[in-house]
Amino acid sequence: MADYKNFTVETDNDGIVLVTWDMPDKSMNVFTEEVMDEIEAICDATRGDEAVKGVVFTSGKKGSFSGGADLSMLNGRMERIQELKDNPTEEGMKELFEGAGRMSWLWRKIETNGKPWVAAINGTCMGGATELALSCHYRIAADSEKVKIALPEVKVGIFPGAGGTQRVPRLIDTQEALKFMTTGSPMDASKAQKTGLIHEVVAADDLVDAAKAKLKAGEVDPEAPWDKKKFRAPGTPVYSGAGSQLWPPAIAILRKQTYGNYPAAEAILKCVFEGLQVPIDTGLTIEQRYFTEILRTTEAAMMVRSLFISLQELNKGARRPDGVEKSKFKKIGVLGGGGFMGAGIGYVTAKAGIDVVLLDRDAESAEKGRQHAAGIMDGRIKKRRATEADKEEILSRITTTADYADLEGCDLVVEAVFEDSGVKKAATESAEAVIPDGTIFASNTSTIPISSLAQNSKKPDQFIGIHFFSPVDKMMLVEIILGEKTGEKALATAIDYVRAIGKTPIVVNDTRGFYVNRCVLRYISEAYNMLVEGVPPAMIENAAKMAGMPVGPLALNDETAIDLSQKIMRQTARDLGDDAIDQRHMKMVDELVEKGRLGRKAGKGFYDYPEKPAKKHLWPGLKEMFDQTAADSLDVETLEERFLFTIAIEAARVMEEGIVEDPREADVGSILAFGFAPYSGGALSYIDGFGAKVFVERADALKAEYGEQFAVPELLRDMASKDQSFYERFPVGRKAA
């Protein structure tokens, strides 16, 4: 056979062809136009060669089969789709339709190749790679924790449009198929076998040999089950008594979970419902039509850009300064390591394979940090996501101490002591007395400006902010805050560290509240406004979730603590004057704190938190604090808009002030930090989705009705006058001109 750039093709004496996908200069195999052209050439070559008895398709990447589509290919396609959306032509729409079906019909070509194909899955198998595997006639997976099989497209605004919606429900129970595709959650090898997505699980070292043996024994049917006469899908027929018990609830459950904000999720149900009633080729055409439609939606454009393209770019260090040697971390120090935040930082550091020193005021306090890590691992073990050996390995990397001398040799020190300038000053000075001259010092502060904290350091150019979010082990975003004198080495080191522990970094310039907290405070503040207006509390929470927020603002405030909100408002009043805060809000928070309603930590706040198994519920007394407005007189869509507009306007203001310079970071940060309506693509993409002119007009109307919080910055008015988007105004990776 011919030589290929991305594949090696070897035929043994039994006529078994081993196709090994191993892209040069790539850590993971991804689909490009070139890769698909080569797969098609291999398919044609094996079909026409009588000596070929079967094909084993596997990956040459250790622990990874394929991550799905290539960034550049997907980016190029989305740009072309946008061009066609702005200027649709018959020829252009035909191009879009055919492009949407390229992968689908290529996989169908494999399926009808006439020779049996076996997918030997050795690791991560995502998106189009899973759909490729499903088109093979037999699927074997390695017995390895690295095997994760998923169709995660719905998480980025599209859906499995390369045969996924047709083959999955023809392989497994319909309800399980819908859950698999609408959640995008991965299956391990064992579950995938039990469910029916794969046929066999073997030892990793035996994977290819087992696949070949299956072909040599003639045990792989080269005809897919659904191409045989009288094929019946394993689930219940659509039009049957059991089917009537499945589909109406499925639609209702999806609506409850998504509030209609995710067109791709709805398209999955449509594709499966319609596809199960027709032959596979017709079903694939139905899927292709829906896929073409979804690709043209605003939701798909924004989600693909932010949650796939931008997220991967940031994870690869898009904001890292050039010319700075990459940092290698052997030992990290955490000051305040016994506290909840410091302990979390210690855990994720040790989990990443880096030794960590947890320092606190005394040995007993420091040891709490190690016990925190042990508790997390116990929970993972209970859920069968880790072993006792994993736990011991992580704990072996954690050293607890009360002696600053133990910080000697640290490559980075992260300060996570109490949020008090005096305490942080003492910790900084004590640490700098023992750490090497070149060690970067980072402060995990959520409210105190980094430039002021850097005044405590002898080396302000090596001082930077690394702001984690709680709980550290679960939250994927980290804000890196630049002080006035922070140097490039400090920035590069901070980004390297955040990447090393598997988090997503965004770079933020110094200001009160930085970026994320400024937006979150606007979200909570608007809920306060609604409470004062008499909007029923339940309506406030439900409107926020209907808008796409994962947690209502009152529930979120309970998590962050109501007395913390009180402290922030009082500090703001001291710094900027009483007019800087809404006195109605201050009065309400003071009253709640006086009643001991501090939030979840106190067992009562805006919500009551009874003992399990009872669930939390809104405090009935909240309605008695304000005259209630009749729910029927309120417009829910306006309530939804108020939440999203006030956050988006603050994000625009942050861009205007130069606090965030890259729109990718503003968008990704808003989603990962506090779940800003993911279907919108993030706070700035939400504005771009409207168009600046339409957004400003609507914001002006909200301002006239509800107040100054909807006053747009001059940046937005200028963008509206020029019909600009944020990604046009602020070219990614560079400051705006």
Please give the full DSSP string across 252-295, using - where no structure is assigned: HHHHHHHTT--HHHHHHHHHHHHHTTS-HHHHHHHHHHHHHHHH
Contact at 8 Å (CB) between 656 and 502? no
CB atoms within 10 A of CB 17: 24
Same-domain pairing of 442 and 484: yes
Structural domain of residue 464, as residue ranges? 331-514
Residue closest to 668 by CA, chosen among 333, 371, 379, 315: 315
**What CA–CA distance (Å, rounded) separates 540 from 535?**
7
Residue 2 lies in a domain: no
The CATH number of residue 649's host domain is 1.10.1040.50
**What CA–CA distance (Å, rounded) separates 442 from 116?**
57
Same-domain pairing of 187 and 246: yes
Mean pLDDT, the chain, rounded, equals 94
Same-domain pairing of 339 and 280: no
Residue 164 lies in a domain: yes
Q: Is 467 labeled as catalytic in the residue annotation? A: yes
pLDDT at 733 over 60: no
Picking from 481, 514, 547, the residue at the C-terminal end of a domain is: 514
Would you state the pLDDT for residue 734? 42
Q: What is the DSSP string of 320-347?
A: PPTT-PPP--SEEEEETTTSHHHHHHHH
Same-domain pairing of 480 and 585: no
Same-domain pairing of 493 and 618: no
Share of the chain above pLDDT 70, in %: 99
pLDDT in tens, 422-438: 899 999 999 999 998 89
Can you say how many angstroms the Cα of residue 477 is from the centroid of all Cα atoms in its chain? Answer: 9
Contact at 8 Å (CB) between 637 and 560? no
Same-domain pairing of 401 and 485: yes
**What CA–CA distance (Å, rounded) separates 681 from 72?**
18
Would you state the pLDDT for residue 248? 94
Would you state the pLDDT for residue 731? 84
Annotated catalytic residue within 372, 467, 585, 617: 467
Same-domain pairing of 254 and 375: no
Residue 308 lies in a domain: no
Same-domain pairing of 506 and 522: no
pLDDT in tens, 14-46: 999 999 999 998 999 999 999 999 999 999 999
pLDDT in tens, 463-501: 999 999 989 999 999 999 999 999 999 999 999 999 999
Both structure tokens of 128: 């189009």
Picking from 464, 489, 514, the residue at the C-terminal end of a domain is: 514
pLDDT in tens, 656-691: 999 999 999 999 999 999 999 999 999 999 999 999
For residue 185, the SS3 value is coil
Q: Into how many domains does the chain fold?
A: 3
Same-domain pairing of 124 and 234: yes
Residue 588 lies in a domain: yes
DSSP state of 71: H
Residue 603 lies in a domain: yes
Contact at 8 Å (CB) between 463 and 483? yes
Assign 3-state DSSP to the chain and report helix, strand, coil percentages, each to 5: 55, 10, 35
Phi, psi values for residue 478, rounded to 5°: -135, 125
Picking from 460, 490, 514, the residue at the C-terminal end of a domain is: 514
Same-domain pairing of 282 and 350: no
Start-to-end Cα distance in the chain: 53
Residue 678 lies in a domain: yes
Same-domain pairing of 151 and 270: yes
CA angle 677/734/300 to nearest 5° reads 30
**What CA–CA distance (Å, rounded) separates 294 from 158?**
6
Residue closest to 572 by CA, chosen among 391, 427, 447: 447
Q: Tokens 């008499």 correspond to what residue?
A: 534
pLDDT, mean of residues 381-406:
94
Residue 318 lies in a domain: no
The CATH number of residue 504's host domain is 3.40.50.720
pLDDT in tens, 180-235: 999 999 999 999 999 999 999 999 999 999 999 999 999 999 999 999 998 999 98
Same-domain pairing of 497 and 523: no
Residue 646 lies in a domain: yes
Amino acid at 296: R
The CATH number of residue 263's host domain is 3.90.226.10
DSSP state of 626: S
Would you state the pLDDT for residue 277? 96
Contact at 8 Å (CB) between 93 and 24? no
CB atoms within 10 A of CB 439: 20
Band (pLDDT 50/70/90 cuts) for residue 87 is confident
